[in-house]
């Protein structure tokens, strides 16, 4: 908020759509999430674009977005480039780097109260494999473009937040 960004979580948008009565994608989204797989790009892009359009329609000054959890694979990236070419520029990628076991432990702890169907060890291990195969190459691509801002997310919440503030102070 301090920097004028609207936070959009791809995962939250997908989970909300999954729960929306009458959603044509609800069951499909649930199956992908449960299996730790990436939801088809057409669905995710349409939800992101709709949220962005709604935000800007309500307030034309709100045209900066922090898109959380996207793109997750090559298909996502190509879909983004095709749909958003000339409409949105990626300034930088904020990459929270963290050891797998720390991530699993944190998600299992979150799972005690989150109610998320994917906060269990089996789904989390599948998600890590999906990350290594599909998402890491996208991070590497943005890294080669000089657009990755890396944060050591194994640190405390306060230390991670301090690093994020430093990045946004620099990037605007």
**Which of helix, strand or coil describes residue 25?**
coil
If one compares 123 and 159, the residue with the highest pLDDT of the two is: 159
Same domain, 39 and 109: no
Q: What are phi and psi of 75, to 5 degrees?
A: -60, -45
Q: Quote the domain boundaries for residue 57.
A: 1-90
Residue 162 belongs to a domain with what CATH number? 3.40.50.300
Look at residue 9 and tell me whether its pLDDT is greater than 90.
yes
The position carrying tokens 């057409």 is: 42
Please name the residues in contact with 113: beta carbons below 8 A apart, sequence gap of 6 or more. Answer: none
Look at residue 75 and tell me whether its pLDDT is greater than 90.
yes
Please give the Cα distance from 43 to 15 (Å, whole number).
Answer: 12
Helices 136-144 and 74-84, axial angle in degrees (round to 10): 50
Instruction: Tell me which residue of 116, 8, 10 sits closest to 69, measured CA to CA.
Output: 10
Same domain, 86 and 113: no
Same domain, 21 and 48: yes
pTM: 0.82
Tokens of 45: 């892009």
CA neighbours closer than 13 Å in the CB half-sphere of residue 131: 14
Same domain, 61 and 116: no
Same domain, 16 and 82: yes
Same domain, 106 and 165: yes
- The tens digit of pLDDT for each residue in 84-128 reads 988 899 999 999 999 999 999 999 999 999 988 888 999 899 989
Same domain, 1 and 86: yes
Same domain, 65 and 142: no
CB 91 within 8 A of CB 146: no
């Amino acid at each position: 908020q301090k920097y004028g960004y609207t936070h959009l979580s791809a995962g939250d948008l997908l989970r909300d759509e999954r729960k929306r009565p009458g959603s044509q994608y609800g069951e499909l989204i649930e199956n992908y999430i449960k299996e730790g797989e990436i939801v088809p790009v057409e669905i995710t892009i349409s939800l992101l674009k709709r949220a962005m359009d709604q935000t800007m329609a309500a307030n034309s000054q709100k045209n900066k977005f922090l898109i959380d959890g996207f793109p997750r694979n090559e298909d996502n990236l190509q879909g983004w480039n095709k749909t958003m070419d000339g409409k949105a520029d990626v300034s930088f990628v904020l990459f929270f780097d963290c050891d797998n076991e720390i991530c699993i432990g944190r998600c299992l702890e979150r799972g005690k109260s989150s109610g998320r169907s994917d906060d269990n060890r089996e789904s989390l291990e599948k998600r890590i494999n999906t990350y290594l195969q599909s998402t890491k190459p996208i991070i590497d691509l943005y890294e080669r473009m000089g657009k990755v801002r890396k944060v050591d997310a194994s640190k405390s919440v306060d230390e991670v937040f301090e690093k994020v503030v430093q990045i946004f102070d620099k990037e605007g």
